[in-house]
Structure formats: structure tokens, C-alpha cells
Structure 1
């Protein structure tokens, strides 16, 4: 198909192509979702299932589950073969996209993927790189519909154009990108390991400070607290409920506009624990919602704790610095500041992260949850308040240095990832010459 057959806006993202390259709709050079499991599939047939969360950019399929057809999720339908490329049709900007080179036996992908199987005119690895390029991903995102979970469908994806040279040149481009991206990925991995070591050092500093204090020569005693071990002899231990109010919130019905429209009272969800402090909100509820939906009014300073989910959010904490209310996936801890310093308490909960997660994994539930009772009954070490403030200040100073180094490493990783993306896009659209 000639370039002139496409509207100009459909070609802008491909840029100026080298002589000899062709432009065709994807559907002319790939088969989309070529194989699917039917409802008549043997119930005992075993599969290896890949969901959208199983795919990581640059790493491919990193996590799968084994199922019989009978027990598999209803979306486990797309059969995958070597050389297929998976493209997530939901929130494609997250780049759950990969070429499948050596799939496990009976690999089945979620219906949330478009499975692209290349024809003989397209090299499988070239197609995989093209699908991860900024140019292609941005084109898919531009045609997606929805706000929270923008989505498209496979038939729309394969209407998009693909530019490609002869098959031998495609293979050279793919080989070049294999080599260059492996080099970049190695550098990124090293920097991530370095950042992980800084995080471990930060955790060790917190552990030392809240369990041993600042005086290395202080006499010690057994705390009687499972997750703490020994503490300085002049410290005491107390359950959270004896020096703080603990509670959680709710989500007012979205169907009742009177709870939301015109609201000016900050309402926070569990995403807030990904920040060091909560200083603003992006959602607000009305006075009516506060009255009718059992929403607590929390005055700062307080600690907010994520209490649900299998991801890292459960057990994470942040400091509340504005008056606000919260949803049911958060717990607030409002301390008596005559007994415990807020910054010291924040450090305590950071130290208790793994303990609270392990305690809330019990009971056989597939979704772990920390309860208000577990938070209330958490036993913590209590130095004198003046010593708590000294510990908190020392931690802030040492962590500021680590944070500065970690931030620089993060910026370096971002630049490498940007370079990787630009390299792929430029190579698969012919903007750089590959011998």
C-alpha cells in the first residue's frame, strides 16, 4: 500500500521514512488473535496463563499461573505461539507489551491482550520492537477511550500503519536492538541494585535508631516485643491504643451526587501512602457525606497506614499534614503528642512494615488486610519524648543524604529508560542507519 493511501495524521508519528520502506496497515502483515480456546475445551486441559500484570517492559513475561481450563479465569482465551507479540489493549501506556520468543507449554494470554502473529514479510523481533516503540504506543493511546482505564480493541490496533524495510534489514535492526537494549538494561539493573542497597541501608538506620537509640553504650533489656528484640533499659513499651486514637473511613456512594458535588472537605485514598507526607487532596466530599457516611475528621499531625492489598501499599505509611478524612483502605493513628513524637511514630511504623504485613497475611485469605485491632495492639518502644525527638531528627538528617543520592540514581535510570525508548523508536522507523 502506498503512503498516500493513509491520512496524513496517521503517518505523522512515523516520521520521514528512508527510501525503500513500505507502509501498510498492521492487519495486512499480521494475524490478530489467530487462536482462541473455545467453551468446549477439555476441562482438564492444563495451561500457563499470562495476565496483563504478568508482562513487564524490557523483561517480557515475568510471572505466570498454572490452571486447568475449568479453573482458569474466563479471560484466559488467547493461545500464544513463539514469535507472537502481545499488546495490552487496556492502559497501553503502561507498556505491557512483549514479543514471545520461548513461551512455556500451552501459554494462554488474557483477552486484555491483542495477540499479533507476523506474516512472512515481517520479522517477529522487529514487530516486537515496533510495538514497544514510543511512536506506536502513543498512537494506540491516542485512539483509546476512557479516563481511569483507557482501552482500545484489537481491530482498531491493527488498522494502524506499520513502516518496514525488506526482511533482511528488519532482522539487522532487531539484532542491533537486541545488543543495544541488553547493554542499556544491564546499566539500569546495576543502578537499581545500587538504589535497593540504599533502601536497605535506610531500613537499617531506622531499625537501629528505634530499637537501640543513639547511645551505643546504653544498657539493654529484652523488650518482650517479638519484632523488636532488645531495647535500651530506660525505655518502656506500650501498645498503640494506649497513646493514640485509631480508626478508618469509608467511600461515600458515587451514585449520590450530594456526597461529592460541591464538596470541599479533603478525602484521601490509599494512594496517599506513596508520598512522604499528605499535604493535599484531589477528591473532596460534602458535609452531608461526613455526617451520613461515618467519615472521621482527622486533625494533623497523624499517621495514615495502607491496610489492604497484596502490593506494597499494605503496611506503608505517610504523615497527615492537613485536616482530612479517609476511605476504608486506610487507617489513621492520631497520637497523644505528650507521649509520642509524630516523626518518631512515623519511623516506628516504617520499621513495623514487614511485621504488619506478615501478621495480616494469615487466615488463608487471598487478599491480606491489616485491621484496626492489629494496629491498636501493636506494641512499640517508647523512649522519653525528648529522646524520641532526638532520634527523629538524627534519622531525618541521615535519610536526607540517602534520599539525595537515591534521587540522583533515579534520574540516571529515567535518562537511560528514555534513551532506550528513543533508540527503539528511531531504529524501527528508519531514523538511524543500522548496517
Structure 2
């Protein structure tokens, strides 16, 4: 769909913005909205009133702040409650982060939320007379806003936006009626785009479930439907082929399981060994390029990976996630929240074990370990006692070849869905930017 331009433009006087429609102005944020950095923290105090706290993650992960979000309980003073209770039309932005790219992430408040206050590490933008809150939120959605605030954030290991930087941010400012029209147009169009994104994400989920089902069946039942079976002795597994052997992980490795290097991921030197962290590993078993970090050779040496080494995440939200190293990735070492398993190829293929870590059986085992624990952690000792069923070498290779073929088909489909999502997100960003900067005229778009 193509959109017309405004009939007449003028110079905005701002390099990033260029020309704006002749009937628009530019304004500093402080002249069109009240900028209120919050000082309400998550600590509860006896002399204060109980409130619900809209915190950093509520804003970072949601387009809108609504009553059904799981707000945490806290307390606030009467002054804070009056100042920071969320009102219809408010926009909240993140103002502190360890990553400057996470500065000024916005969320919109579509309805009054009595009893919910804006929390620490956030700033509340309350539109003034003549300002549409929905339009203001869309301005904050633009890549320009993120880029400007990222450059104005102060800090070394943690970045923060001061009130001055936020208040003096210059925005394109059309008449109120046009602001309302632009906000309504973008609400409709972004909803349509988001619906398409949701459908692609649902398809990815179904494909991932199919992928896991294929792997789970192959590594616990094999490929021969007529093979004689036996009871595995494991409740959630059931029967396995009778001729398969059961072995614990500690009995099929060449050396004890090993924790990675407890070093800071600072360097980005392509001539040094890559420092593999759990955040680098994609769901399809590949490494992300945008998160590349390295270690100096003298630090990396004890933790270098060899062909077929399998890495296992030991804690946090990604516990259980796995990665198999190939020399195609170049020289790599691994980080402290990972555990290395070097499989004895005379006993099992590393790829057999790796595929096991993608199966329902493995993830049920991980869940059973976590149920017994107070924190999300699977130690090397626990991984040592993971039991897997191992067929003869030739059968392993046949099953691995089958899985490589079948998962490659599914991975290709998932990649197409991911590409479609990226294109939709790019269109969404471009459309918002074009509308709020006057590059397109959406006033009469139905």
C-alpha cells in the first residue's frame, strides 16, 4: 500500500528530521509533556501505602501497560502516588540499562490504572494540553528516538538518561487533530502487522514442536517400527528397543565434565578465539554473529573446544540448552555458565548425545531435576548421571543421518518464518517513522 505525501514541506532545522509538513512545528518534549523520572523503588516501607508497581520489565516487554499485567506489590508515599499513578495517555520509557540500546523503550497506558504507579529506572511522560498521548508514544517508537537517547545516555557499565536529556528531546509536532489521526492510523496498521507476526510465530512454535517430536521418537524408539522393545525403567520414557544399551553420561566421556572460563566478555577481536556464551546460541544450534566476543589466547587455552564437544547450560532461564561445536565455527572457547562434555566416539557419536539433548526425554529429565532444586541449576554432577540409550554405531549413524535430513527441512521453514517476521517488523518501524515525521500523509486514510 502506498501513501501520498503532504502538499508542502519546510525545513525542520534538525538534521535527522529534514523536511516536515508546512503546518507542523518542532518542540522540545518538556513543552508538550510533563517529564517525570520515577523515584518509587520496590522496597516496602511501613509508613507508606501499598501500591502495585509498574517496573522495568513490564515496560520493556509490553507495548501497552494494562490492568491484567502481573504487577509486583510495593509501597509509595502520598506524594509519589499523586505524581506517578498511571493515567490514560501516559507513555513510560526505560531510562537506565546495562545496554544503551535498551534506553527509551516505550510502553503506552491506554486506560487509567488506579493503584498502579510508575517504578524506578523509568520515566513517565504525561501529555500536556494539545498533545495526543498515542502520538507521543509513536514518536518514542522510532529508531531515531532510540538512537538519540542511546548517544545521550551516561555511564560505562550501566547507562542512564538524565531528566535534561529527556526533557530537551526535540520531536516533530503536528496540530492536535493530525496527531490523533496519525495515532489512530498507526494503531490500526500496527495491529494488522502484529497479527501477521503472531501467525508466523505460531507457525514457528508448531514447527519446533514437530521437530522435537521427530527427534524424540528417533532417539528413543529408533527407525524400525517392528523392532522388539523392552521396558526402559523410566516412567516418562516407556519402552525402548531391546538391543539398545543404557549408559550414564559420565561413562561415555573421555574426560570429566568441565566448567568454562569465568572471564568478562569484553573483547571483540576476530583474530582471537571466540568466547561462546549461552546467549550466543540460537535455537537451531548455530551461533549468533551479532553477539561475538573473544578471549585472549592465554585465557582461552584451557577452555578451547574440539570437534564434537557438546556444551550444556547449567543455570538460569536457559538451563539445559545445548550446543555442539564444529571446527567450521573457527577457534572457540566457552564461558563459565556452560559445561563441556567430550564424548568418547568409541562409545557413542557426539551427535547422538546432542540429539538426545533436543528430545522430550531429556527435557523431562531437566524438569525433574529442577523440581527438586531451590534454584534453576543443573550441575556437572547431575549431568554426569543423565542416562541415555545407545544403539550400535551403525544404527546411530543411520538415525543421525535421518535426523539431519528431517530437521534441515524444518529449520529451512522456520528460517523463512523468521525472515518474514523481520521484514514485517522492518515495515512496522518504517511505517511508524514515516507517519510521525510527516513523510507520508495519513489524514484521509480510512
TM bracket (short chain): 0.7 to 0.9
Q: Which residue of 1 aligns with 2:80?
A: none
Q: 1:211 to 1:148 in 2, by over 3 A?
A: farther
Q: How does 1:145-294 map to 2 (within 5 A)?
A: 145=154, 150-244=159-253, 245=255, 246-252=257-263, 264=272, 266-274=274-282, 276-277=285-286, 282-287=293-298, 289=299
Q: Which residue of 1 aligns with 2:308?
A: 301
Alpha-carbon distance between aligned partners in 1 of 2:187 and 2:201, rounded to the nearest angstrom = 21
Question: What's the offset of the Cα at 1:357?
Answer: 3.9
Alpha-carbon distance between aligned partners in 1 of 2:178 and 2:265, rounded to the nearest angstrom = 54
Q: 1:325 to 1:420 in 2, by over 3 A?
A: closer
Q: Which residue of 1 aligns with 2:323?
A: 318
SS in 2 for 1:82: coil
Alpha-carbon distance between aligned partners in 1 of 2:226 and 2:265, rounded to the nearest angstrom = 57
SS in 1 for 2:316: coil
Q: How does 1:94-109 map to 2 (within 5 A)?
A: 94=102, 96-102=105-111, 104-109=113-118
Q: 1:48 touches 1:105 (CA, 8 Å); kept in 2? A: no
Q: 1:59 to 1:226 in 2, by over 3 A?
A: farther
Q: 1:179 to 1:92 in 2, by over 3 A?
A: farther
Q: CA RMSD in A?
A: 3.2
Matched, 1:21 2:30: no
Q: Which runs of 5+ in 2 are unaligned?
A: 1-9, 77-82
Aligned counterpart for 1:400 among listed residues 397, 405, 408: 408
Alpha-carbon distance between aligned partners in 2 of 1:192 and 1:277, rounded to the nearest angstrom = 19
SS in 1 for 2:357: helix
Q: 1:191 touches 1:409 (CA, 8 Å); kept in 2? A: yes
SS in 2 for 1:17: strand
Question: What's the offset of the Cα at 1:419?
Answer: 0.8
Matched, 1:348 2:356: yes
Question: What's the offset of the Cα at 1:346?
Answer: 0.7
Cα deviations by residue, 1:211-264 (Å, 9 ceiling, x for unpaired): 111112212211113442211111121111111141212314899x9xx99x95
Question: What's the offset of the Cα at 1:34?
Answer: 6.7
Q: TM-score, normalised by structure 1?
A: 0.84
Q: 1:36 to 1:279 in 2, by over 3 A?
A: closer
Alpha-carbon distance between aligned partners in 1 of 2:46 and 2:246, rounded to the nearest angstrom = 59
Alpha-carbon distance between aligned partners in 2 of 1:279 and 1:99, rounded to the nearest angstrom = 31
Question: What's the offset of the Cα at 1:166?
Answer: 1.3
Q: 1:286 to 1:413 in 2, by over 3 A?
A: closer
Q: 1:178 to 1:324 in 2, by over 3 A?
A: closer
SS in 2 for 1:395: helix
Alpha-carbon distance between aligned partners in 1 of 2:214 and 2:164, rounded to the nearest angstrom = 54
Q: Which residue of 1 aligns with 2:345?
A: 337
Q: 1:324 to 1:165 in 2, by over 3 A?
A: closer
Alpha-carbon distance between aligned partners in 2 of 1:103 and 1:364, rounded to the nearest angstrom = 41
Cα deviations by residue, 1:7-37 (Å, 9 ceiling, x for unpaired): x4xx222231111112111011111117654
Q: Which runs of 5+ in 1 are unaligned?
A: 71-76
Q: Which residue of 2 aligns with 1:371?
A: 379
Q: 1:421 to 1:376 in 2, by over 3 A?
A: same
Alpha-carbon distance between aligned partners in 2 of 1:355 and 1:147, rounded to the nearest angstrom = 42
Aligned counterpart for 1:382 among listed residues 384, 387, 390: 390
Alpha-carbon distance between aligned partners in 1 of 2:277 and 2:265, rounded to the nearest angstrom = 14
Q: Which residue of 1 aligns with 2:122?
A: 113
SS in 1 for 2:405: helix
Alpha-carbon distance between aligned partners in 2 of 1:37 and 1:148, rounded to the nearest angstrom = 23
Alpha-carbon distance between aligned partners in 2 of 1:406 and 1:65, rounded to the nearest angstrom = 34
Aligned residues: 413
Alpha-carbon distance between aligned partners in 2 of 1:157 and 1:234, rounded to the nearest angstrom = 68
